[in-house]
Amino acid sequence: MKISTASLDWKSESPHSNQYEDIYFNPEDGISESFYVFLEANKSPQLFKESHDACITIAETGFGTGLNFILTASEWLKHSPKQSKLKYISVEKFPLSRSDLQKALKQWPQFQEISIAILEQYPCPQAGYHTITINHSHIELLLMFGDAAESYSRLNAKVDAWYLDGFAPSKNPDMWSPELFREIARLSKPGTTFSTFTAAGIVKRGLRDVGFDVRKQKGFGRKREMLVGTFVENQAPKTIDKPWFELPASAKPKGVTIIGGGLSGCLTAQALAERGVKVTLLEQENQLATGGSGNPQGALYAKLPVKQTTQGELHLSGFLYSVNMLKRLDPEESFWSQCGVMQLATSDKELARQNNLIEQETYPQELVSLKGAEELSEIANTSVNFDGLFFPSAGWVSPRALCEHFVDHPNISVVQQQVNDLSFAEGHWQLATKSGEFLSASHVVICNAEMANQFNQTDHLPLKTIRGQVSITQAKATNNQLNSVVCGDGYISPAHNQQYCFGATYDLQGKERNVTQDDHESNLEKLSKVLPDIHADLAAESNDLQGRTAFRCSTPDYMPIVGPAPVQDQFIETFAQLRKDRKWHFENAKAEHHPNLYVNTGHGSKGLITCPISAELLASMICDEPLPLPKDVIDAINPARFIIKKLIKQTI
Ligand code: SAM
């Protein structure tokens, strides 16, 4: 959902909120006040020095101009050991517009590097979770756009220190609510600290009631008092809504073995390697990305629903995450291009849907807008037959090049091995290979697409394949030059390495591995409907078309499968009561998982937007860090969901 940006008054260099009639920071000495009230009061610099190899989590209410964040990030860079990590979580109901943020950050040139990184990755005003990565993943800012209590209620994290900012309780009583205090307690552990500029009774009592030891101390400058404190215990009884989705405890491992060298495997490897984990990536073929991830180009965009759905939220968060990741890691655009994507309305029904999507203002205009065929033709540099949606920040990616780039990392070794069997004994996994070897691993992530259910431990995963063929042809100098990705019934990207790649067929039954002329014809026909001039050029070469066939690995609910591998028999036993009562309240029921065994598969044709965020999610789970997606979205991709659905439907 699109959200409103902050309405500001710039009184001198210090912004003032029209929504709350309050200031963002002390105009006389904002830096010193923030440092005193939040960093010093929580002893953040000391926490950072002693962080060793750990992940330190700071959470804040009210991101505002990001001053607290940049101060914290800069202190972190001064003090923290090399392998440790800062996760800074913040929430913002009315994000500053990009230009206001730019203006605010300009005031602190000493933090220019961090400010540039924030601005480059600053999200459009879209509700949900957004990740900004700084300094090779050593700092991650999870920026949640939305209301504080609601956003924190979806978070899975254990916080070390809270910066309770947000406008004064007298100006903003809604934020300082019992719901927010309950969430703060849920996300705290014994010893978690907090500090806040206010000494208001409602804050003092609210935090005391949920288990904090609250103390007053001298406020900054002329201010008399402020509050600090430490979490002692959670006084609310722990209620677990869906115990089957509870994640197993984990601690950052030294090494992880990954099975499968496609997009999901390579990105998971990279996300772990960036955290200092040694990764062994096992791939049965003699090169990476030979399956569904091996096409020369794939469209990078999210097909958005009119009304927000869990799937839509995953796709949009994933899309925004992928774009930021690519901008950061390949700024020269050597294996991707941010050339924009048009999604054409090739039927009246689709046009009505697109009109509805725009009228309801579900998404900000900088993300997507509706354009007429004429304007789209200008953008594409060739005639386009339909009106449609245009996504200016979208584009295409060469998935194989991306895989190769990502595993080129000192912490990753790629080994050609086919794993046939997995067994767990004496605290370790044994991987039996086709060549008769046994490899040992403490942690395993299964990323081998539709073969992910070949193991005893995962044979319950319902995976299916969808055959797809792309057509590939030389782009001649005399041809029309396409400038952006066009999606109609199929898709085509601008030429890359002097080749056009277009398609793809979508065949739920097909098992044929060879490239077929029929499929070339079908791809050309889809093209003729939307891009007549490009079609005329490429059809002239139709006898010379090359192609590639691959099988997308999909799931019954078209959501990927990402998370710990459940022990099916134990799940059936523990949650058997669901067969009789889907709303049964379980007391002390524990979801049982195979130790340190994870799955990342089923990305279908959406791998470019779901694999990067899923890899980040899995690496965070495995290394015991806050998770980058809301809990309900994580539940929707949990590998155990199929067992639970079957129990409820009484089909197991
Ligand atoms: N920490 C910020 C900094 O370092 O620049 C300053 C924060 S400013 C004083 C307070 C912020 O809290 C504003 O940006 C405001 O929009 C935000 N806010 C107020 N109520 C909120 C709520 N219920 N949920 C999320 N954010 C809220």
The strand pair at 85-92 and 55-61 is best described as parallel
> What single-letter amino acid sits at 128?
G
Burial class (CB in 10 A: 0-12, 13-18, 19+), 511: exposed
- 372-420, pLDDT tens digit by residue? 999 999 999 999 999 999 999 999 999 999 999 999 999 999 999 999 9
The average confidence (pLDDT) of the chain is: 93
Lowest mean pLDDT among 180-189, 259-268, 543-552: 543-552
66 lines ligand 1 (CB under 6 A): yes
Structure tokens at 61: 């209410």
At residue 509, the pLDDT reads 84
Contact 531 CB / ligand 1 (< 6 Å): no
Q: How many CB atoms lie within 10 A of CB 10?
A: 11
Name the residue at shortest CA distance from atom 11 of ligand 1. 62
> What DSSP string runs through 198-260?
---HHHHHHHHHTTEEEEEEE-STT--EEEEEEE----S----S-GGGPPPP----SEEEEE-
Which of 213-217, 480-484, 542-546 is predicted least confidently?
A: 542-546
pLDDT of residue 599: 98
Q: Which residues pair with 474 in a beta bridge?
A: 499
CATH topology for 243-291+401-463+556-649 is FAD/NAD(P)-binding domain (3.50.50)
Q: What is the mean pLDDT of residues 617-644?
A: 98
Residue of 94, 97, 163 best suited for mutating to test ligand 1, as the one with most atoms within 8 Å of CB: 94
DSSP 474-521: E--TTS----SEEESSSEE---BTTEEEEE---BSS----S--HHHHH
The 8-class DSSP code of residue 38 comes to I
> Of 415, 426, 133, 44, whose CA–CA distance to 257 is shortest?
415
| Nearest Cα residue to atom 18 of ligand 1 | 62
pLDDT at position 283: 95
Q: Candidates 23, 24, 97, 105: which one to mutate for ligand 1, based on the most atoms within 8 Å of Cβ?
A: 24
Domain 8-231: CATH architecture, name and number where available: 3-Layer(aba) Sandwich (3.40)
* Ligand 1 pocket residue status of 563, Cβ below 6 Å: no
Query: In angstroms, what is the span from residue 48 Cα to ligand 1's centroid?
Result: 25
- Supply the angle between the helices 263-273 and 399-407 in degrees, to the nearest 10: 30
In this structure, the dihedral spanned by the alpha carbons of residues 394, 398, 400 and 402, taken in order and rounded to 10 degrees, is: -60
Structure tokens at 357: 């999507």
pLDDT tens-digit series, residues 34-86: 999 999 999 998 988 888 878 999 999 999 999 999 999 999 998 887 778 99
**Average pLDDT value for residue range 190-205:** 97
| pLDDT attached to residue 49 | 87
CA of 431 to the centre of ligand 1 (A): 50
What's the gap in Å between 146 CA and the centre of ligand 1?
A: 11
Please report, for the chain, the start and end positions of each structural domain, with discontinuous segments joined by +.
Answer: 8-231, 243-291+401-463+556-649, 341-392+464-554
Q: Of the ranges 126-140, 370-384, 464-478, which is most confident? A: 370-384
pLDDT score for 83: 75
Identify the pLDDT of residue 564: 98
| Residue 230, C-beta contacts closer than 8 angstroms, at least 6 positions apart | 191, 192, 193, 194, 212, 213
> Could you tell me if 487 and 395 are in contact, meaning their C-beta atoms sit under 8 angstroms apart?
no
Alpha-helix residue ranges (DSSP H) falling in 330-454: 348-359, 373-380, 399-407
pLDDT at 287: 87
* H/E run at residue 465: strand 464-474
Q: Are 482 and 381 in contact (CB under 8 A)?
A: yes
Q: Is the pLDDT of residue 295 over 80?
A: yes
* Whether residue 64 has its Cβ less than 6 Å from ligand 1: yes
Q: How far, in Å, CA of 634 to CA of 562, rounded? A: 8
152-166 as b/e: b if 16+ CB within 10 A: bbbbbbebbbbbbbb
Residues 47, 161: Cα–Cα separation, whole Å: 9
Residue 517 pLDDT grade (very low, low, confident, very high; cuts 50, 70, 90): confident
Q: Which residue has the tokens 């689709």?
A: 350
Where are any strands of DSSP class E within 62-154? Answer: 85-92, 128-134, 139-145
242, 635 Cβ separation under 8 angstroms: yes
pLDDT at 473 over 70: yes
For ligand 1, the distance from its centroid to the CA atom of residue 26, given in whole angstroms, is 14
Residue 414 near residue 406 (C-beta atoms within 8 A): no
**Is the pLDDT confidence value at 194 over 70?**
yes
Q: Left, alpha or beta for 155 (phi > 0: left; psi -120 to 50: alpha)?
A: beta
Q: Using pLDDT thresholds of 50, 70 and 90, give the confidence band for residue 306.
A: very high
- Give 145 Cα–ligand 1 centroid separation in angstroms: 11
Q: How confident is the model at residue 476, as a pLDDT?
A: 80
For 341-392+464-554, CATH gives: 3.30.9.10
Characterize the bridge pairing of strands 159-164 and 188-196: parallel
Instruction: Give the lowest-confidence range in 25-29, 98-102, 345-349.
Output: 25-29
Please report, in angstroms and rounded to a whole number, the separation of the first and last CA atoms in the chain.
37
Please give the pLDDT value at position 236: 66
**Residue 250 in contact with residue 624, Cβ under 8 Å?**
yes
Residue 522 is which amino acid? Answer: S
Q: Say what the pTM is.
A: 0.95
Predicted local confidence at residue 138, as pLDDT: 87
Question: Tell me, what's the pLDDT at 286?
Answer: 87
> What is the structure's pLDDT at 494?
95
User: Which segments within 504-624 are labelled E, that is strand?
Assistant: 546-554, 561-566, 593-601
Please give the pLDDT value at position 84.
85
- Of 134, 156, 150, 447, nearest in space to 280 by CA: 447
Q: How far is CA 107 from CA 27, 74, 103, in A?
A: 11, 15, 7
3-class secondary-structure state, position 576:
helix
24 lines ligand 1 (CB under 6 A): yes
